[in-house]
Amino acid sequence: MMIRTVVFLFAFVLISFGGFSQTEARWVLDQNQFKNPGFHEATITLTADQDSSISAGWKLYFNTIFISVSSVSKLPDTEIKHLQGDFFVWEGQTPEIKKGQSLKLSYRSSGPFLKNSYAPEGLILLHADGRIEEVRQYTREEISDSQLAEMAQNTSLPIPSGEKVYEENQGISLLDPSDIPPFLPSPKSWKYTGEPLKTQNAGMAVIGSSEFREVTKYLLLTLKQGYAPKVNREEPPINIKVQRVDGLDEEAYKLSISGRRVDILASTEKGAFYGVQSFLALMPPHFWTEPSDEFVLPQLQIEDSPAYEYRGFFLDVARNFQTKEQIFKILDLMALYKLNVFHFNLANDEGWRIEIPGLPELTEFGAKRGFSTDESEFLWPYYASGVSPIIDSPGTGFYSVSDFEEILAYAKARFIQVIPEIGVPAHSRAAILAMEKRYKSLVAQGREEEGLEYRLADPKDQSVYLSAQNFRGNTVCVCQESTFRFYEKVVQEIKNRFERVGLPLTSWHTGGDEVPRGVWSASPICAEFLANHPELKLEDLNDYFRQRVAGILEKYDLNMGGWEEIGQTHSSNEVVPNPKFADQSWTLYAWNAVAGWGGEDMAYRLANAGYPVVICSSANFYFDLAYNWSPDERGHTWSGVVDMYQSWKTVPGKLYLSHDQTIDGDLWDWEQARQKFTTLTDLGKQNIRGVSGQLWTETVKGPEMLEYYLLPKMLGYVERAWVGDPEWSSQESLDQMRSEREIEWNVFLNVIAQKELPRLETIHGGWNFRLPLPGVAIKNGRVLVNSPLPGFEIRYTDNGTEPIHESPIYREPIPVFEGFNPRFKLFMPSGKSGRSRGLN
């Protein structure tokens, strides 16, 4: 088995004066054990430049969230010190590395090594003379699927071998276009009434009811992007009407195309907008690349409405920033797929991303990441975001007042509600440090009282804790009024942005998750507060804080939302719904649903207790989870893995049907799960507001990576958000369910392959979606290959080289011969391809 080596070239930055050097580094996995206990060992080899040595006393900084904070250095007299989050330093009595020579830095970490992207990254060498060098020549050896399978052979980890994928693809077949829905999400009812009508250089009249003026304008402007006829007066015109009718639900619409007449009917602007989106979804892929004088009108009738009022998409821009332009593109994608809530996470430990007038330190300090030894001028370079705080990197950036208002206006035009999230009391380190920066600056000016106004920390707090993401000092002091003044200031300023663009702000997300154990336990301010409030105990402070924040939001007519923790409490070491707040209409986002951990039905328990709930199941709708267990697929695995199938087969109304395996790869028995699952009461059913898909960005380094994580994985979620429970879930027997699920999955895959991916390749400037690997098996001395996407070509080579668009097409089993070293790859008609697969 050959180990692959990947080279990472990073920009070289020399911050302090000194000579130019080119240190090289190489990472190798030495040992990987999955059980009894699980651990891995690895080595970073540092090699000095041929022309200059590395003097003793150097320190090596690096990033990774995938080793233990107590990892052990095997180099004598040195240690690996955890600083914050994913940022570490290797320090101690580090020896001289002479010119051209190397030094091995080996370490041991608890937990097995799973992904090639989990190796340390962002290496920064701090020389003994203070010179800072971002290591620009860094190679990391990679393990293959077969190597990881060998390492994990005594576990049930489902690594996607070529043979396993081949078996999974066996039920996939190409369907006639007339037998599949015209687009996603699938309309409630649809019927083709004839062959598509093609016109050339026909005139077009777009007319809308007076109530639908803006929607009609949106349609007209969009059509002009792809249709540019030289009008032929002898060619009958195309007539498109966007009309208001009574009797349809708020988001419902009807779409009818008969001959050259298009009717889009709705009772509201929102319904009309979704009808327009469906009409635009019928346009061929080339419509979105260059204007044409030809127009195609499918002949059909559609009646449609959504299953859920809340169809959300959550995006974290705090961990790694996304530009305003990329947010526009995300909003366009949401509109295309009829998602109506953009949950916008604007702050976290690793960054503050929105300008707040009057508090410039939040962005001057909290929106920048770069290297320093003390984190005094900006945040550390979490997630390998680079040495410099001013270069274009995902670590640095924020939305100005005008940027944010543009985003809001863009969302408003697409009927998308925006819910800002400023998470408290935890996940607040960027804000805490920014307000400490403000305090110290004002004290130096003799303005201490002003500095105290928005302070978030107790400077004498000695509480010892570590957050879920390995941060210390990331939780605000809830026992001082300045914390509440700060939060109200932020709420007020952000609400002002909404009011300026005329977009109603009705809901606010407070985060509230993952408050570390041990917070406030050694805070003098909290000790004094509790002494003055004998009715409260230390364990009551979280509830006290939530109630105070809810009061602030009520003052501004905002509904309070938060992750499920804000509606939970502990009883006999079990997490249960908190009855204290069940009558206050707080919307809870139920996320912690790791398959096999016992909390998969928490959404139901909270809804039954009286809380409005949005289902955000981590095991189904967390798009930052890796597509599968292949070491080549980036992403988290803490809640298992999520691909398009995992999100598509979710059953929000019967969540126990949403899994086939536990996170450990063991069988998930539907009947056993049903018996243990909480059943939704009538009240609980009313409290399920909808669903949300999430993308956290710890491992997302830019727009292309973001798009790869989302697509096509997100499309399974899009179907569930609009359609609701799949039809197969209503079958009587488990065998019928599985049989019908396979049939419905095949239909869905045909829509993906024939409709959605060709359009996503061109619309909105094109999307960087993932194409899966083909299945490959050897049977009776022949290689059999199949596609996970019906109708897509598989091309191959037989000598180990990468297939290209001109390579032969796989059409039938290939006999194995001596020296046969094939590679197989999936291709779209345009030539776009995925990664290749060999025989192992």
Tell me the per-residue pLDDT of 286-313, one tens digit each, with 9 for 90 and over: 999 989 999 999 999 999 999 999 999 9
Residue 14 clears pLDDT 80, i.e. is over it: no
Tokens of 175: 């369907």
Residues 509 and 341: their CA atoms lie apart, in Å, by 12
Provide the 3-class DSSP secondary structure of residue 27. strand
| 12 or 565, higher pLDDT | 565
Residues 113 and 397: their CA atoms lie apart, in Å, by 32
pLDDT (0 to 100) of residue 16: 40
Position 287: which residue type? Answer: F
| Boundary of a domain, candidates 725, 749, 778 | 725
Report the C-alpha dihedral over residues 54, 56, 57, 63, rounded to 10 degrees: 40
DSSP character for 675?
H
pLDDT (0 to 100) of residue 664: 83
Residue 3 clears pLDDT 70, i.e. is over it: no
Tokens of 777: 């098996």
Q: Is residue 579 part of a domain?
A: yes
pLDDT (0 to 100) of residue 453: 98
CA 616 to chain centre: 12
* CATH at 782: 2.60.40.10
Asked whether residue 151 falls in the same domain as residue 235, the answer is no
Tokens of 236: 């009958």
Cα–Cα nearest to 244, from 262, 265, 263? 265
Asked whether residue 754 falls in the same domain as residue 836, the answer is yes
pLDDT bucket at 665, cuts 50 / 70 / 90: confident
Q: Is residue 367 part of a domain?
A: no
Asked whether residue 747 falls in the same domain as residue 656, the answer is no
Which helix H or strand E contains 156, and what residues bound it?
Answer: none
pLDDT (0 to 100) of residue 373: 96
Q: Which residues are catalytic?
A: 514
Tokens of 386: 């680079």
DSSP character for 685?
H
pLDDT tens by residue, 619-633: 999 999 999 999 999
Give, rounded to a whole angstrom, the gap between the first and last alpha carbons of the chain.
Answer: 9
Cβ pair 124, 60 in contact under 8 A: yes
Asked whether residue 280 falls in the same domain as residue 352, the answer is no
Residues 65 and 71: their CA atoms lie apart, in Å, by 12
Cα–Cα nearest to 719, from 650, 618, 617? 650
Asked whether residue 537 falls in the same domain as residue 609, the answer is yes
Question: With the C-alpha atoms ordered 321, 322, 323, 328, is the resulting torsion angle positive or negative?
Answer: negative
Asked whether residue 57 falls in the same domain as residue 202, the answer is no
| Conformational region of residue 458, where left means phi above 0, alpha means psi within -120 to 50, and beta covers everything else | beta
Q: Which residue has the tokens 């204007």?
A: 291
Residues 570 and 806: their CA atoms lie apart, in Å, by 62
417-424 and 507-511 as β-strands: parallel, antiparallel, unpaired?
parallel
| Boundary of a domain, candidates 725, 744, 777 | 725
Cβ pair 39, 112 in contact under 8 A: yes
pLDDT (0 to 100) of residue 392: 81
| Boundary of a domain, candidates 725, 740, 764 | 725
Residues 144 and 232: their CA atoms lie apart, in Å, by 60
Q: What percent of the chain lies above the pLDDT cut of 90?
A: 95
Cβ pair 415, 503 in contact under 8 A: no
Cα–Cα nearest to 125, from 54, 184, 230? 54
In sequence order, the β-bridge partners of residue 509 are: 421, 561
Q: Is residue 363 part of a domain?
A: no
Residues 10 and 338: their CA atoms lie apart, in Å, by 40
Tokens of 608: 């039954």
pLDDT bucket at 760, cuts 50 / 70 / 90: very high
* CATH at 462: 3.20.20.80
Residues 154 and 335: their CA atoms lie apart, in Å, by 46
pLDDT (0 to 100) of residue 470: 98
Cα–Cα nearest to 613, from 312, 339, 411? 312
Q: Is residue 365 part of a domain?
A: no
Residues composing the chain: 840
Task: Look over the chain and give the mean of its residue pLDDT values, rounded to a whole number.
Answer: 95
Q: How many domains does the chain have?
A: 4
Asked whether residue 338 falls in the same domain as residue 462, the answer is yes
Q: Is residue 371 part of a domain?
A: no
Q: Which domain holds residue 646?
A: 310-316+330-358+415-725
* CATH at 222: 3.30.379.10
Strands (E), 34-99: 39-47, 59-63, 72-73, 78-84, 87-92
pLDDT tens by residue, 318-361: 999 999 999 999 999 999 999 999 999 999 999 999 999 999 99
pLDDT tens by residue, 357-404: 999 999 999 999 999 999 999 999 999 999 999 878 899 999 999 999
pLDDT tens by residue, 460-506: 999 999 999 999 999 999 999 999 999 999 999 999 999 999 999 99
Q: Which residue has the tokens 């708020």?
A: 250
Residue 17 clears pLDDT 70, i.e. is over it: no
- Give the ranges where 426-565 is alpha helix by DSSP (H): 429-444, 448-452, 481-501, 524-532, 541-555
In sequence order, the β-bridge partners of residue 207 are: 241
pLDDT tens by residue, 83-133: 999 999 999 999 999 999 999 999 999 999 999 999 999 999 999 999 999
Provide the 3-class DSSP secondary structure of residue 34. coil
Question: With the C-alpha atoms ordered 647, 651, 655, 656, is the resulting torsion angle positive or negative?
Answer: negative
Q: Is residue 366 part of a domain?
A: no
In sequence order, the β-bridge partners of residue 82 are: 88
* CATH at 151: 2.60.40.290
Residues 306 and 187: their CA atoms lie apart, in Å, by 9
pLDDT (0 to 100) of residue 20: 54
Asked whether residue 760 falls in the same domain as residue 791, the answer is yes
In sequence order, the β-bridge partners of residue 294 are: 200
CA 755 to chain centre: 24
pLDDT (0 to 100) of residue 129: 97
Residue 1 clears pLDDT 50, i.e. is over it: no
Residue 4 clears pLDDT 60, i.e. is over it: no
Q: Is residue 402 part of a domain?
A: no
Cα–Cα nearest to 275, from 295, 301, 247? 301
Asked whether residue 762 falls in the same domain as residue 624, the answer is no
Q: Is residue 433 part of a domain?
A: yes
688-695 and 310-316 as β-strands: parallel, antiparallel, unpaired?
parallel
Residues 816 and 686: their CA atoms lie apart, in Å, by 59
Cβ pair 630, 160 in contact under 8 A: yes
Asked whether residue 578 falls in the same domain as residue 663, the answer is yes
Longest dimension (CA), the chain: 88
pLDDT bucket at 13, cuts 50 / 70 / 90: very low
Asked whether residue 815 falls in the same domain as residue 710, the answer is no
pLDDT (0 to 100) of residue 181: 98
Provide the 3-class DSSP secondary structure of residue 5. strand
Count H helices, E strands: the chain?
Answer: 21, 34
Residue 12 clears pLDDT 50, i.e. is over it: no
Asked whether residue 748 falls in the same domain as residue 709, the answer is no
pLDDT (0 to 100) of residue 21: 64
Residue 752 clears pLDDT 90, i.e. is over it: yes
Residue 10 clears pLDDT 70, i.e. is over it: no
pLDDT bucket at 573, cuts 50 / 70 / 90: confident
Cβ–Cβ contacts within 10 Å for residue 486, how many? 25
Q: State phi, psi for 133 to the nearest 5 degrees.
A: -125, 120
